[in-house]
Amino acid sequence: MSDTVKIAFERKILVLPIGELLATKALPAGVRESVKYRRIAASVAEVGLIEPLSIARQKGGSYLLLDGHMRLDALRFLGATEAPCVVADDDESFTYNKRVNRLATIQEHYMIVRALDRGVSEEKLARALNVDVKVIRQRRHLLAGISGDVAELLKDKPVGHHAFQKLRKMKPIRQLEVAELMVSANNYTVSYAKALLATSKPSDLHKPDELKKATGLSAEQMGRLEREMASVSEDYKELEVSYGDDMLVLVVASGFIERLLAKPEIEGFLAGRHPEFLENFRAIVQATSLDQSTTP
């Protein structure tokens, strides 16, 4: 194919006076006390502005700020007079960062390890990320005791640091089973990981005696919980397999019902003779419409 992809920004990064940048929105009151703002300000103060501001040219020589309001405010707060910017080809005022995937936990780990390997000190990283040095050390060793297959499976998933602590207590085969369950259920919370840990067989754990002390459950209770969890997981997998076909049937049926209800004589007949059917039909159509409207 000979089609070329059009670049949305000018290639050259401009360093412009902050006074020439026109904000498109006001920051909420108290934003400077938020964790996100303090982290941005700490990063800008320590290593400078990593991601340039997104702007669009305006008549008269000024520039409209499309994205980077917190970064711009942090620069002003720190006394900066200029900022690096990328110029967009249009002036659509939407947040470009909404189209960027946020850094997953494992990706953050790789970033920290790479920075440390290149000579950046733990203290400097901690200041740049506005966290304690202990946090940097914990995230540096995030994948210690984690199977490589599990790391690959969860590399772009929003798994919390505490969930990895639960996975670390399991042997590699069980780690992979739990990771697959988390992906299937789209549930990466530490509570879910803890529940899966509690239902693991002693032979799947590095230190099964510690788990028994932590849960306070007897062997019989653990066995029953394990069977129930296995049954739930099996039911979930069966539903996952049939979900696509069921949803297709529901959409087709909903469309047919919607066309029927669009005929006044049919809707009038149901309203007069079978109002309960009419109410259920409307609920089906409405539910399917809502589900389709929330699909990305």
Are the folds of 9-88 and 105-231 the same? no
Taking the CA of residue 271 as centre, how many other CA atoms within 13 Å lie in the half-sphere pointing to its CB?
9
Domain locations in the chain? 9-88, 105-231, 243-292
Of 84, 91, 87, the closest CA to residue 7 belongs to 87
- pLDDT by residue for the chain (296 residues), tens digit each? 456 666 677 888 889 999 889 888 888 888 888 888 888 888 888 878 878 898 888 877 788 888 889 999 999 989 999 999 998 876 554 444 444 445 688 988 998 898 889 888 889 888 887 788 898 898 899 999 999 999 999 998 989 889 999 999 999 999 999 999 888 888 898 888 888 888 888 888 888 877 666 555 566 666 676 677 677 777 777 777 777 777 788 888 888 888 888 888 888 888 888 888 888 888 888 877 655 444 44
Residue 22: which residues within 8 A CB-CB, separation 6 or more? 58, 62, 63, 64, 65
Assessment of whether the complete model's pTM goes beyond 0.75: no
Of 231, 154, 169, the closest CA to residue 200 belongs to 169
Give yes or no for a contact between 72 and 83, defined as CB atoms under 8 angstroms apart: yes
d(CA 206, CA 216): 18
Single-letter amino acid, residue 244 = G
Q: How many helices and strands (H and E) does the chain possess? A: 13, 5
CATH number for 105-231 (one of 1.10.10, 1.10.8, 3.40.50, 2.40.50): it is: 1.10.10
Taking the CA of residue 115 as centre, how many other CA atoms within 13 Å lie in the half-sphere pointing to its CB?
20
Identify the H or E element spanning 256.
helix 219-261
- Fold topology of 9-88: 3.90.1530
